[in-house]
Amino acid sequence: MPELKKTCLYTLHESLGAKIAEFGGWLMPIQYAGIISEHEACRREAALFDTDHMGEFMIRGKNALTDLEALLSCDVHTMAGGQCRYALLCNEQGGVIDDLLIYRRDESEFMLVVNAGTRAEDLDWIGGHISEDTILEDVSLKTAKIDLQGPLAPEIIVKLLEKPIANLRFYHFMENRYRDRDLILSRTGYTGEIGFEVYLEPDLAEIFWQDCVRSGAQPAGLGARDTLRLEMGMPLYGHELDARRNAGESGFERAISRHKKFIGSAVVTDTEQRTSRLCGIRINGRRAARQGDLIVDNSGNTVGVVTSGSFAPSIGCAVALGYVNLNYTPPGTELILRGARCELKGEVVEMPFYKQATGRRKLTDFL
Amino acid sequence: MTPDDRKYSKSHEWIKLEGEFAVVGITDHAQSALGDITFVDPGAVDKTLSQGDECAVIESVKAASEVYAPVGGVIADINSKLVDAPELLNNDPYGEGWIVKLRAVDPAQFDALLDAAAYDAITA
């Protein structure tokens, strides 16, 4: 087994007494003070996440746009410079190699932000499907990434950066200056709350983290990151998405273009080939279903499988995501989640579970 | 400080005699390892348990685990407050976070459990 990697903030996490565990080949902080208090900090104030394990690729060249159109599920040519989009990287069978964010810098230069556990495979796949003159560079090791999320995030970050940010729109990014150095700030995240993903040089990561903490951000681990994304119905690669599941069944229609061909599109965009759909299920009680639990109907027929489940702190009950046969996906459908230890009653509900998130609101509301 | 008015199991339960009853909970070490507890099923009154039987189910955000009866006995009462406030297990594991009360406990099994110092030694 290869040695587990450490982010540039690992020593800091240890000194904060974080519980550390393996994730995607990296030793990552799961929690500091506690998952629920970190979750609440993000919903009500501001939380700081080390996401340096994630990978960043630069792709540039005159054919980069055409190459990315063929590789990614979303439209790329309609993106303006400074815009980000969520996309799926699919295989020929329509399964998902990775889910990622694409950043368009200008006509011919793009950044992809990918998951830690799939980074090497992504690099191989992309490298094998681009034009000879397109340059693909893995800049992960020289790029640190920290997410600052929550209603206080804008006023925390505005004090640290040189350039004004008030006009930065949802799913857009900008270059800014911090302590006389360049960084990239995008209005994106994995929590539903207003906030930023920040890309900076690794030697700046620790001081940036400390500056945010001094301004009121609370360190938060992957545990809270998972409950926050689950409440928003956002997918986690390896749970909701994998190489075998038809990406079209995810229901992420906004990430899937119907106006172009891309690798896997013959399967992904063909609605006839879909037999189930990713659904949110609200459970009647606090006890959680877990990945792999069966979803059954009132007659005991298996109609699906759970991909993620947890107690949802901002909802006050347990929730789950799972793939459910198409006949059982309308909101209000009653389902039973059958685990090894118990059966739980639930109901299909519209996504997101948590509807008060601030992510799409105007930045100026928070400055 | 691990209270010295009760006994401990190697599987991180505590048990305290109160008159004819024995109160059972999990240790501070156990709650800390589990993290935020989000669900407790403290079993059913009148159920007879042998030593080591599952007597409650606990879930934290990340995992599910069992509480085992440190001695044999019959469930005389359950802490119903835990159903709506499972965080009592984190906040006060040796007090408000008790899980079940047993009757008809086996005194020999109780005497053979760990005292506070011995429990501290295995969790140090």
Q: Any CB–CB contact under 8 A between A151 and chain B?
A: no
Substitution target from A311, A317, A344 for chain B, most B beta carbons within 10 A: A311
Q: Any CB–CB contact under 8 A between B39 and chain A?
A: yes
Query: Are the Cβ atoms of B35 and A223 closer than 8 angstroms?
Result: yes
Domain with CATH 3.30.1360.120 in chain A: 1-274
Q: pLDDT at residue A365 above 70? A: yes
> Which residues have C-beta within 8 Å of that of residue A323, sequence separation ≥ 6?
A245, A249, A276, A277, A278, A279, A304, A305, A307
Query: Are the Cβ atoms of A286 and B39 closer than 8 angstroms?
Result: yes
Confidence of residue A196 (pLDDT cuts 50, 70, 90): very high
Higher pLDDT, B64 or A220: A220
Please, are residues B46 and B75 in contact by the beta-carbon 8 Å criterion? yes
Q: Map out the domains of chain B with their CATH numbers.
A: 7-115 (2.40.50.100)
Q: pLDDT at residue A2 above 80? A: no
Query: Are the Cβ atoms of A341 and B64 closer than 8 angstroms?
Result: yes
Residues of chain B found within 8 Å of residue A288, distances taken between Cβ atoms: 38-39, 59, 64
For chain A positions 322-361, those within 8 Å of chain B (CB to CB) are 341
> Of the candidates A19, A30, A287, which has its C-beta nearest B59's C-beta?
A287
Tell me which fold the domain A1-274 belongs to: Gyrase A; domain 2 (3.30.1360)
Domain with CATH 2.40.30.110 in chain A: 275-349
The mean pLDDT value for A157-175 works out to 98
Residues of chain A found within 8 Å of residue B86, distances taken between Cβ atoms: 286
The CATH number of domain A275-349 is 2.40.50.140: no
The mean pLDDT value for A37-46 works out to 98
Q: pLDDT at residue A341 above 90? A: no
The sign one gets for the Cα dihedral B106, B109, B115, B121 is negative
Query: Are the Cβ atoms of B62 and A286 closer than 8 angstroms?
Result: no
Q: Any CB–CB contact under 8 A between A257 and chain B?
A: no
Residues of chain A found within 8 Å of residue B90, distances taken between Cβ atoms: 34
The mean pLDDT value for B21-43 works out to 96
The model's pLDDT over A63-97, given as tens digits with 9 standing for 90+, comes to: 999 999 999 999 999 999 999 999 999 999 999 99
Tell me, what's the pLDDT at A340? Answer: 87
Residues of chain B found within 8 Å of residue A31, distances taken between Cβ atoms: 35
> Of the candidates A285, A287, A311, which has its C-beta nearest B61's C-beta?
A311
Query: Are the Cβ atoms of B59 and A288 closer than 8 angstroms?
Result: yes
Q: Any CB–CB contact under 8 A between B4 and chain A?
A: no
> Which residues have C-beta within 8 Å of that of residue B19, sequence separation ≥ 6?
none
Q: Which residue has the tokens 């079209």?
A: A248
Q: pLDDT at residue A50 above 80? A: yes
Count of Cβ atoms closer than 10 Å to residue B79 Cβ: 21
Query: Are the Cβ atoms of A287 and B41 closer than 8 angstroms?
Result: yes
Q: Any CB–CB contact under 8 A between B54 and chain A?
A: no
Query: How would you write chain A as a 3-class SS string?
Result: CCCCEECCCHHHHHHCCCEEEEECCEEEEEECCCHHHHHHHHHHCCEEEECCCCEEEEEECCCHHHHHHHHECCCCCCCCCCEEEEEEEECCCCCEEEEEEEEECCCCEEEEEECCCCHHHHHHHHHCCCCCCCEEEECHHHCEEEEEECCCHHHHHHHHCCCCCCCCCCCEEEEEEECCEEEEEECCCCCCCCEEEEEECHHHHHHHHHHHHHCCCEEECHHHHHHHHHHCCCCCECCCECCCCCHHHHCCHHHCCCCCCCCCHHHHCCHHHCCEEEEEEEECCCCCCCCCCEEECCCCCEEEEEEEEEEECCCCEEEEEEEEEHHHCCCCCEEEEECCCCEEEEEEECCCCCCCCCCCCCHHHHC
Residue percentage of chain B with pLDDT more than 70: 100
> Of the candidates B36, B39, B62, which has its C-beta nearest A287's C-beta?
B39
Substitution target from A287, A290, A293, A344 for chain B, most B beta carbons within 10 A: A287
The model's pLDDT over A251-278, given as tens digits with 9 standing for 90+, comes to: 999 999 999 999 999 999 999 999 999 9
Q: Any CB–CB contact under 8 A between B91 and chain A?
A: no
Q: What is the mean pLDDT of chain A?
A: 97
Tell me, what's the pLDDT at A209? Answer: 98
Tell me, what's the pLDDT at A139? Answer: 98
Query: Predicted ipTM?
Result: 0.91
Confidence of residue B35 (pLDDT cuts 50, 70, 90): very high
Confidence of residue A1 (pLDDT cuts 50, 70, 90): low
Please, are residues A363 and A151 in contact by the beta-carbon 8 Å criterion? no
The mean pLDDT value for A281-294 works out to 97
Q: Any CB–CB contact under 8 A between A23 and chain B?
A: no
Residue percentage of chain A with pLDDT more than 90: 99
Q: Which residue of B has its CA nearest to A31?
A: B35
The mean pLDDT value for A139-158 works out to 98
Q: Which residue of A has its CA nearest to B66?
A: A341
